[in-house]
Amino acid sequence: MKYLLSRLILVLMMSVSWGCHLEDKGFDQGETTKMTSDQVIQLLDDLFMERVKESPQYMTYLGMRERYDQWDDNSDRAADKRLQMTRDHLARVKAIDLTNANDAVKLSVKMFIEQANMSIEADRWRYHNYPVSQMRGVHGRIPSFLINQHLIANELEAKAYITRLAGVPKVLDQLKVNLEIRENKNIIAPKFVFPLVIDSIDKMLAGAPFEQGPDSTLLADFKRKIDALDITDDTKSKLIINASDTLKSRFYPAYRSLQIKLRELESIANDDHGVWKFPDGDKFYEFALRRTTTTGLSPDEIHELGLTEVARIQTEMRGIMQAVGFDSDLQAFFAFMRDDPQFYYSDSENGKQAYLDDATAIIDNMKSLLDGLFITKPKADLIVKAVEPFREASAGQAFYQRPAPDGSRPGTYFANLYKMKDMSKYNMEALAYHEGIPGHHMQISIAQELEDIPKFRLFGGYTVFSEGWALYSETLPKEIGLYSDPYSDFGRLSEELKRACRLVVDTGIHSKKWTREKAIAYMNSNLAYSESYNIRQIERYIVMPSQATAYKIGMLKIQQLRARAQNILGEKFDIREFHDVVLKDGAVSMPILENNINAWVKSLD
């Protein structure tokens, strides 16, 4: 990992401009150029680094310390510049003569061209999104980024943290401009979004130095990082005072000003929930599904597939209900699983810690069993943490944060313990496998640790692959004897059923004009989760159109490819080799994954 980071920094330092760097190698930008595989990889890395240099926040995500005191530029002018950069990069890559390149490099070029074309096409829909929602947005990324990404190893990096605090007003001013542009186009988030976001800001601004009481989340984070430094107490004190003053004078008023704008938007927002309400909303949603799933499946096809999968999974659930001797219908079993105290931790600090401890134990046990399923395993460590208090009320049930490439930060499985009734004991196994091992951590860490492939593939990818893999990974432990408790196996099915329901409600909301209430009612009648949990899920799907379809579409494709390979290869089929082929190229589109598996099968058949 250190070697990878060194190469990233070296390329950054050498590439004052990629054009100059390439000319030094004898590459004429105006001509079609025949390149070796190494030269193609170098070119793609140069282009990647040019993109990285435009984003100081992404540089921080990658563990780099350059521009460590700056924020990204989120203006339209910057977006125009990125679009032109993409066009220039695409032209440069399309001009490569790949005669002397190997197959792996040809695949990389194909992926680069596909992704660049998709980015250019997506610019048509630049404003078809919500810059602020309860799920994501600059307003929430700022504190999360400072806490989880901005590490402080010395006094200079502490000052960079403070400079970033001072730069928040400009970032939020750009956000307000982006909101106003969409307001003029009548692209405004549904009314329910605004109280959730406004409340999350209130929570972030609670405590010292904003008001009397315990330290706010940000000040506590800064103090914790400063306390760990090997500097004098006087220097620590000055840094903390400076940070406190900056939080009060710059950070606080910027967020209060944003709240004013959000309240203005709330007053004119309505209860139309689907993107069908956007200009050319139907076409946008078709594009969103194509980008998310990397398939040509229509909204109607995905909707019907969801209904079929819901029926199949519920049939399996009835089998478990009978196995545990529950003599009633599935709805009654759902109510039993929702309401019986035996399935939940206490809503206390001890209960929350017990959840984190048990989730860690599940992951540690799975680590010890990986040899039977995988050849390649991740080097990066994985930890389990609770979602921070300032965003737990609006964040999802669980999510994963990738490790820093240089090993300075492990991968993290965040569990949202805001309401312990939403984090049952019976679904914690499946959740830990999905977010941790063998799910997101395994796939993403292995991708980051791959060698001799371009960096845009190491750090990018496709949601349908990563989420499809994670959902597929929930089933693997069952094949080696885990989920021994039938209630835990019911939890596995519950997680899969939720993803099947997503196909139904996402298309229902955004294509069939379902209301928020109709979508919630569908979830309530088909899932074992609490109504409060289902409400939060539906509200997520509303503000993130198409994203929720990735999980089941990706899982079904991986399962389909595995079944086909097993049928053709018979005794020659090795599950470890299959998984290596699936993961060997990082996150890829479904057509590319299918080509990879077919080529592997052909080589053995």
The model's pLDDT over 553-565, given as tens digits with 9 standing for 90+, comes to 999 999 999 999 9
Q: Evaluate if residue 10 carries a pLDDT over 70.
A: no
Residue the block writes with tokens 């004009």? 513
* Extended beta strands in 98-234, E state: none
- Least confident piece of the model among 371-385, 421-435, 454-468: 454-468
Residues 301 and 446 in one domain: yes
Tell me, yes or no, whether 292 and 428 share the same domain.
yes
pLDDT (average), residues 92-102: 94
Looking at this protein, which amino acid is placed at residue 5?
Answer: L
Q: pLDDT tens, 168-194?
A: 999 999 999 999 999 999 999 999 999
Is residue 587 in a domain? no
pLDDT digits (tens, 9 = 90+) for 123-159: 999 999 999 999 999 999 999 999 999 999 999 999 9
Burial class (CB in 10 A: 0-12, 13-18, 19+), 317: buried
Number of domains in the chain: 3
Mean pLDDT of all residues in 280-293: 98
Lowest mean pLDDT of 11-15, 70-74, 469-473, name the range.
Answer: 11-15
Report angle CA 535, 539, 543 to the nearest 5 degrees. Answer: 175
Tell me: do 429 and 401 sit in the same domain: yes
Q: For residues 350 and 393, state if they share a domain.
A: yes
Same domain, 36 and 147: no
Are 530 and 421 in contact by the 8 Å Cβ rule? The answer is yes
Please tell me the predicted confidence (pLDDT) of residue 31: 62
d(CA 320, CA 326): 9
Among 91, 125, 159, the domain boundary falls at: 125
- Mean pLDDT over all residues of the chain? 92
Using the predicted structure, report yes or no on whether residue 466 has a pLDDT greater than 90: yes
Let me know: does 197 contact 134? Beta carbons within 8 Å: yes
CA-based max dimension of the chain: 77
Residue 278 CB-half CA count within 13 A: 25
Q: Where are the beta strands (DSSP E) in 409-555?
A: 411-415
Res 394: pLDDT:
66
What distance in Å separates the CA atoms of residue 116 and residue 262, rounded to the nearest whole number?
34
What integer pLDDT is reported at residue 332 of this predicted model? 96
Helix axes 428-435, 440-449, angle to 10 degrees: 10
Q: What pLDDT sits at residue 530?
A: 85
Stated as kind and residue range, the H or E segment containing 19 is helix 18-24
Check whether residue 173 and residue 101 sit in a common domain. no
- Per residue in 392-431, pLDDT (tens digit) is 876 778 999 989 877 788 999 999 999 898 899 999 999 9
Is 588 inside any structural domain? no
User: Does 497 reside within a domain?
Assistant: yes
314 and 214 share one domain: no
The candidate with the shortest Cα–Cα distance to 456, out of 107, 17, 133, 75, is 107
**Under 8 Å CB-to-CB from 46, ≥6 apart: which residues?**
11, 15, 18, 21, 22
DSSP 34-61: E--HHHHHHHHHHHHHHHHHT-HHHHHH
Average pLDDT on 501-525 reads: 97
List the domain range (segments joined by +) for residue 111: 2-125
As a whole number of angstroms, the distance between CA 472 and CA 130 comes to 30
Does any domain span residue 47? yes
Last residue of a domain, one of 125, 149, 174: 125
pLDDT score of 317 more than 90: yes
22-49 per-position pLDDT tens digit = 333 333 445 678 899 999 999 999 999 9
In this prediction, residue 605 carries a pLDDT of: 83
Looking at residue 500, its pLDDT comes to: 98
- Please give the average per-residue pLDDT across 565-575, as a whole number: 97
Rounded distance, CA 257 to CA 164, Å? 18
> Same structural domain for residues 74 and 178?
no
Distances (CA, A) of 524 to 335, 486, 496: 10, 22, 15
User: What is the mean predicted confidence (pLDDT) over 206-223?
Assistant: 96
Tokens read off for 477 = 């432990």
Which of 433, 447, 517, 443 minimizes the C-alpha distance to 480?
Answer: 433
Joined tokens for residue 481? 């004897």
User: Is residue 406 one of the residues assigned to a domain?
Assistant: yes
Specify if 516 maps to a domain. yes
Mean pLDDT of 267-288: 98
Same domain, 336 and 193: no
Specify whether 392 is located in the same domain as 541. yes
Domain presence at residue 573: no
Asked if the structure places residue 577 within a domain, the reply is no
Q: Pick from 446, 388, 416, 378: which is nearest to 537 by CA?
A: 416
Which residues on neighbouring strands pair with residue 414, listed in sequence order?
A: 385, 399
| Side chain identity at residue 137, one-letter code | G
The length of the chain in residues reads 605
Q: What is the pLDDT of residues 332-359, one digit of tens each?
A: 999 999 999 999 999 999 999 999 999 9
Q: Are residues 204 and 296 in the same domain?
A: no
Q: Are residues 264 and 320 in the same domain?
A: no
Confidence of residue 289 (pLDDT cuts 50, 70, 90): very high
Peptide bond into 378 cis (omega under 30): no
Q: Are 282 and 269 in contact (CB under 8 A)?
A: no
Predicted pLDDT at 391: 78
pLDDT for the residue numbered 477: 97
